């Protein structure tokens, strides 16, 4: 057999094998992400905290950001909802759909890293960029927002560990964290 014919046969076999390998994957196949609880009970308090702390229209409450936070203190899903939580001022509470939009945005930032943190039951949350930025470990336009171990940090890390900090009275780290001021450098007495 001539060398050129032999090379042509090998090339055809390689092409057939490549096509067969590619066609074995279903078109609707999804890559799984091991992610924390997305329920209203598990993530709702975290989403409310993120909306309060990070969701203003000049921070993550805008579509130009890679991490987007939806809620009553910033960007809304419905064009008829105003960025206001107070009903007296024409606002409405953050909706479960807005919590889910925030959840998808956060989990999709670093899916492989998120999977590793969740698989480790939240043991190393600092692997996630959003935690490093919030803690001030990595450069963040908003500055250092949380301190490891404070209510704000426990709100996030308890969720990443698979058990959002909720007690029987409905008081949690997330609810306590909402009492923190929105902007860095202010303490609760100045707001």
Question: Could you tell me the residue ranges of all domains in the chain?
Answer: 33-190
Beta bridge pairs of residue 75: 70
Instruction: Going residue by residue through the chain, which has 191 residues, state the pLDDT in tens, using 9 for 90 and above.
Output: 566 655 555 565 555 555 555 556 677 777 788 999 999 999 999 999 999 999 998 999 999 999 999 999 999 999 999 888 888 888 999 999 999 999 999 999 999 999 999 999 999 999 999 999 999 999 999 899 999 999 899 999 999 999 988 765 556 788 888 877 655 444 443 33
Q: Which residue has the tokens 């964290």?
A: 177
Q: Can you tell me the distance from the alpha carbon of 127 to that of 130, in angstroms, rounded to the nearest whole number?
A: 9
Structural Rg of the chain based on CA atoms: 23
CA distance 191 to 179: 10
Enter the pTM of the model.
Answer: 0.77
pLDDT at res. 107: 96
**177 neighbors 152 (Cβ within 8 angstroms):** yes
d(CA 176, CA 172): 6
- For 127, half-sphere exposure in the C-beta direction (CA atoms, 13 angstrom radius) is 17
Six-digit token pair at 84? 């206001």
């Amino acid at each position: 057999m001539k060398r050129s014919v032999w090379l042509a046969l090998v090339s055809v076999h390689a092409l057939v094998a490549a096509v067969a390998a590619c066609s074995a994957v279903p078109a609707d196949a999804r890559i799984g992400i091991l992610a924390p609880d997305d329920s209203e009970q598990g993530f709702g308090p975290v989403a409310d905290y993120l909306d309060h702390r990070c969701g203003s229209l000049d921070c993550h409450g805008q579509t130009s950001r890679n991490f987007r936070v939806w809620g009553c203190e910033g960007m809304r899903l419905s064009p008829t909802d105003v960025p206001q939580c107070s009903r007296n001022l024409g606002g409405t509470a953050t909706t479960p759909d807005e919590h889910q939009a925030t959840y998808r945005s956060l989990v999709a930032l670093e899916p492989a890293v998120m999977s590793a943190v969740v698989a480790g039951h939240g043991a190393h949350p600092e692997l996630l960029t959003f935690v490093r930025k919030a803690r001030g470990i990595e450069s963040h336009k908003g500055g250092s927002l949380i301190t490891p171990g404070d209510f704000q940090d426990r709100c996030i890390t308890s969720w990443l560990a698979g058990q959002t900090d909720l007690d029987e009275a409905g008081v949690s780290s997330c609810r306590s964290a909402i009492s923190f001021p929105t902007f860095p450098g202010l303490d609760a007495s100045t707001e």
